Amino acid sequence: MNGKGKIIDRVFRLGVVLKGIDGIFEIIGGILLFLISPGQIGHFIAQLTQHELQEDPRDVLFNLIIKMSHQLSAGTEFFTAVYFMAHGVIKVGLIAALLSRKLWAYPAAIIFFALFGVYQIYRYLYTHSVLMIVLTFFDAVVIALTWLEYKRIKPAHP
């Protein structure tokens, strides 16, 4: 493996591991959303941000977080819980296969991450949630890294 190949492999593995950790957090978050009501979430976020907003009532980030928590309805919470759990389970499964260097997992991951990206863009157009843009950008980076790694290792596989 040449120097460029080692760099691609390391960055790919780092991106994939981060995506796997994100998938685990999505599964945990989905489970928690099934267990916690929207009112409890709003109360918890208000308590977390109260001190910061007392210091700077115009803090953009904390005001955005509070605004998002007030928009969380039971239907939105259910959708988000199912989405996070499905996204997380698929992601963790694909990441495990990628880290095991299963050749089939590379195109499968590219397809699934691209489909999630398209859906996230659709959700962004509907909700204007910045989180959807962040997730889509991260997916795009991992898709590019997965493609580069696939091109690099495919010739070595029979």
Which tokens go with 26? 């999505």
Question: What global pTM score does this model have?
Answer: 0.70
Q: How many CA atoms lie within 13 A of 93 on its CB side?
A: 10
Report d(CA 98, CA 20) in Å as an integer. 10
Indicate the domain borders of the chain. Answer: 3-156
Q: Do residues 112 and 23 lie in contact, with contact meaning Cβ atoms separated by under 8 Å? A: no
DSSP the chain: --HHHHHHHHHHHHHHHHHHHHHHHHHHHHHHHHHS-HHHHHHHHHHHHHHHHHH-TT-HHHHHHHHHHHT--HHHHHHHHHHHHHHHHHHHHHHHHHHTT-TTHHHHHHHHHHHHHHHHHHHHHHH--HHHHHHHHHHHHHHHHHHHHHHHHGGG--
Out of 21-35, 59-73, 85-99, 102-116, pick the least confident: 59-73
What percentage of residues in the chain have a pLDDT greater than 90?
Answer: 28
What band does 21 get if pLDDT is binned at 50, 70 and 90?
very high
Report d(CA 42, CA 69) in Å as an integer. 5
Nearest Cα to Cα of residue 32 among 87, 78, 71: 78
* pLDDT tens digits, 123-145: 888 878 888 888 899 889 989 99
User: Can you tell me the mean pLDDT for 8-27?
Assistant: 89
What does the mean pLDDT of the chain come to? 83
